């Protein structure tokens, strides 16, 4: 039987497909290529260009393929955009998931692992954050992801579907082969933007806020390598296949780095001075997000392997310097 990866042409999705294929699994990828890239899809995966809001296209896929379980990455994921265009997030993330679950239930596919986010917590009560801590999103992106988790809960009660929600902290880095890496258009993520400076594509990096209640005044995040995240999806799917119950797991390294520290580390890795410029706070940003991933380690047996920021940034730099235009031309 095959694993269906929705959003398998995107950043975390494409890395998960590479790990699944490396592990000998049969993989079907579906993506509407709105933000994903056809070139990021592993050549051994069967590809369907479809939008998860298109019920007929999903039904046709489930009828044609023999799907054992779904890994669902197909969603909009930019904090800033979710504040200026919230309805896009309700449509793509919530409506999309609603159509998907209806099609899964109709075809008897009852296992799903999906991307949730640290943004479900909002401003945390304490760090490191536990899965049982308060969830009060400060941005619409986090709100729709939390609603997706709750939707799964109700559908599970009614129809017996089982799910694992993976709350990622800050995904970064690139695949060890150098074949795929992080590419967004437009780019909004800190590490790729920093690396555009040594790549000659941007004169400096803007630091969004230096008046946060943190030691150096800039936001603190927990940076986790994308291939470690990818492994967690395989472990979560196998947990469901073994009969595991509905669950939610944080995925992070448990160590926080400030925006300034990330820039300093990138200077060390690239040997470039990377000038930084202070800028106003970005709407919706919590001051500090650090994960406790103890539960994922204990229940899933997950162990992040690339837990050193320098190694992570070096793997990102390896991709960005050889692919300055991502998957595009030139």
Ligand X SMILES: O=c1ccn([C@@H]2O[C@H](COP(=O)(O)OP(=O)(O)O[C@H]3O[C@H](CO)[C@H](O)[C@H](O)[C@H]3O)[C@@H](O)[C@H]2O)c(=O)[nH]1
Q: Which residues bind ligand X (CB under 6 A)?
A: 77, 79, 117-119, 168, 170, 188-190, 193, 205-208, 219, 221, 259, 282, 285, 289
* DSSP designation for 299: I
H-helix segments, the chain: 11-22, 55-64, 79-84, 86-89, 96-106, 140-159, 190-195, 226-241, 259-270, 294-295, 309-322
Cα–Cα distance between 237 and 71 in angstroms, integer?
Answer: 8
Q: How far is the CB of 37 from ligand X (least distance, A)?
A: 17
Q: How far is the CB of 285 from ligand X (least distance, A)?
A: 5
Nearer to ligand X, 221 or 233 (CB): 221
What's the full length of the chain, in residues? 330
Nearer to ligand X, 230 or 259 (CB): 259
Nearer to ligand X, 27 or 152 (CB): 152
CA quadruple 236, 237, 238, 239: dihedral, nearest 10: 50
Nearer to ligand X, 247 or 288 (CB): 288
Q: How far is the CB of 178 from ligand X (least distance, A)?
A: 22
Distance of alpha carbon 107 from the chain centroid: 27
Q: How far is the CB of 281 from ligand X (least distance, A)?
A: 7
The residue among 255, 137, 261, 122 whose CA lies nearest residue 190 is 261
Nearer to ligand X, 197 or 237 (CB): 197
Cα–Cα distance between 9 and 70 in angstroms, integer?
Answer: 15
Cα–Cα distance between 142 and 155 in angstroms, integer?
Answer: 20
Q: How far is the CB of 220 from ligand X (least distance, A)?
A: 8
Which residues are part of the catalytic machinery? 141
Cα–Cα distance between 180 and 189 in angstroms, integer?
Answer: 17
């Amino acid at each position: 039987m095959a694993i269906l990866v929705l959003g398998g042409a995107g950043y975390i999705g494409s890395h998960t497909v590479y790990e699944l294929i490396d592990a000998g699994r049969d993989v079907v990828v579906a993506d509407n290529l709105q933000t994903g890239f056809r070139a990021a899809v592993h050549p051994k995966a069967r590809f369907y260009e479809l939008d998860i809001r298109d019920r007929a296209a999903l039904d046709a896929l489930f009828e044609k393929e023999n799907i054992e379980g779904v890994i669902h990455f197909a969603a909009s994921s930019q904090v800033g955009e979710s504040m200026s265009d919230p309805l896009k997030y309700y449509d793509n993330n919530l409506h999309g998931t609603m159509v998907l679950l209806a099609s899964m239930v109709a075809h008897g596919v009852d296992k799903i692992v999906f991307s949730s986010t640290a943004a479900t917590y909002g401003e945390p009560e304490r760090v490191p954050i536990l899965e049982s801590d308060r969830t009060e999103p400060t941005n619409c992106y986090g709100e729709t992801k939390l609603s997706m988790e709750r939707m799964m809960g109700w559908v599970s009660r009614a129809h017996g579907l089982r799910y694992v929600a993976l709350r990622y902290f800050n995904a970064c880095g690139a695949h060890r082969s150098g074949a795929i890496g992080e590419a967004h258009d437009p780019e909004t993520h800190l590490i790729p933007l920093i690396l555009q400076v040594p790549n000659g594509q941007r004169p400096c990096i803007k630091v969004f806020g230096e008046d946060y209640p943190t030691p150096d005044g800039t936001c603190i995040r927990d940076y986790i390598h994308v291939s470690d995240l990818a492994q967690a999806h395989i472990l979560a799917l196998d947990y469901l296949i073994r009969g595991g119950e509905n669950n939610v797991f944080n995925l992070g390294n448990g160590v926080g780095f400030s925006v300034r520290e990330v820039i300093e580390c990138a200077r060390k890795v690239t040997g470039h001075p990377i000038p930084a410029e202070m800028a106003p706070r970005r709407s919706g940003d919590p001051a500090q997000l650090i994960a406790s991933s103890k539960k994922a380690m204990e229940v899933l047996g997950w162990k992040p392997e690339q837990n050193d920021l320098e190694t992570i940034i070096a793997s990102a730099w390896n991709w960005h310097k050889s692919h300055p235009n991502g998957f595009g031309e030139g």
